[in-house]
A and B are shown apart, each in its own frame.
Chain A
Amino acid sequence: MPILDDEQFESYLKEFRPLAPETLQIAKQPNRARRPLVVTMWAAACAASLLLAFLWWRGPRPTEPASTPQAVSSQSLTIGRANSLLVHAPSLKEAFDELSFQPQPASQPQGKQSALAVLSKDNIKENIKL
């Protein structure tokens, strides 16, 4: 090494650059802390868009025409029908009568049987044989 004065020697020493430390991981922590919020926001946005897509797919339901008591009477009893009866019946008693005496399901024409009835009978016979 050549003889250097103090200043030159200092300059020579400064040519050696201190190595940088590893990245300080925790310095990124604020971002990490914010991550759940970002994920939650994304999840909420996805859920909202799915809901909108579902609503759009279903479309507006056609409104049912108001049924008359006569027409209603042949249908099965539902809350909607009960409401309709209460609204349209001339008196409360008649509305209750209408609700109480439900029409029986239409019976099969003469000489004809329902498939279910036939099958159920066959099953009984087979069970007896066994």
Chain B
Amino acid sequence: MQATRSDANEIELSYRRYGPALLLFAAALVGERSRAQDVVHRVFLKLLESGSLREALNAKAYLFTCVRNAVLNDRKARQRDVVLDPECAWFEPPHRDFAAERNLRRALWELPEDQREVTILHIWSEFTFAQIAEVLNISANTAASRYRYALGKLREALSAKEDCRAHS
């Protein structure tokens, strides 16, 4: 069943609204921005082909779940380790501080994957822990706990890298 015009508009609107966060989420799981973009595009193409977002109770959570499943399928199909592409930025940094952007990207990549995805979902996708629990199929407490660990590690890593920059 192909999406109707209003469904397509809704999907397009969701793409514009959640696209950046979905791309970041996918990139944080696959490492490469181009692959992440492929995954996000595939999800939206499938949505346009198969129907609408109306059936989903929470469209935002549904989209993130779809992207996560697509990433896991993609990984299974490729059967190879994911590596961070050092050249492709994930963020537009404040004050055009591209070194800070690279440091943040690396610090995020060094986090365990389960902590990384919770961090991305909470900070840049603005999910509550209850919503994260729904997307990742874990409890809200687990999500909150992973987030606290992740935040501590991020702060530590970024402080260390900032100190290196200051001394060099």
A11 CB, nearest partner CB in chain B, Å: 10
- Flag if A26 contacts B44 (CB, 8 Å): yes
Residue interface bits A49-71, CB-to-B below 8 A is 1, else 0:
00000000000000000000000
**A17 x B48 contact (CB < 8 A):** no
Interface window among B57-65, B78-86, B90-98, B135-143: B90-98
Residues 120-152 of chain B, each 1 if its beta carbon lies under 8 Å from chain A, else 0: 000110000000000000000000000000010
- Chain A residues numbered 102-127 whose CB sits less than 8 Å from any CB in chain B: none
Q: Which of A2-10, A38-46, A80-88, A89-97 contacts its partner? A: A2-10
- A45 to chain B: closest CB distance in Å? 24
- CA of A112 to CA of B5 in the docked complex: distance in angstroms? 84
> Among A15, A18, A26, which residue has its beta carbon within 8 angstroms of that of B48?
A26
Q: Given the known A-B contacts A1-B159, A10-B123, A30-B8, are A21 and B93 also in contact in the complex, defined by CB atoms under 8 Å?
A: no
Of the four ranges (under 10, 10 to 19, 20 to 34, 35 or more), the interface on chain B belongs to: 35 or more
Count A-side interface residues using an 8 Å CB cutoff. 20
Contacts of A30 in B (CB 8 A): 5, 8
A4 CA to B156 CA, complexed, in Å: 11
Residue of A nearest to B100 (CB): A16
Minimum Cβ distance to chain B for residue A4 (Å)? 7
A residues at B contact (CB < 8 Å) = 1, 4, 6, 9-10, 13-22, 24, 26-27, 29-30
New A-B pairs, 5, CB < 8 Å, besides A24-B19, A27-B8: A1-B162, A16-B94, A16-B100, A26-B45, A30-B5
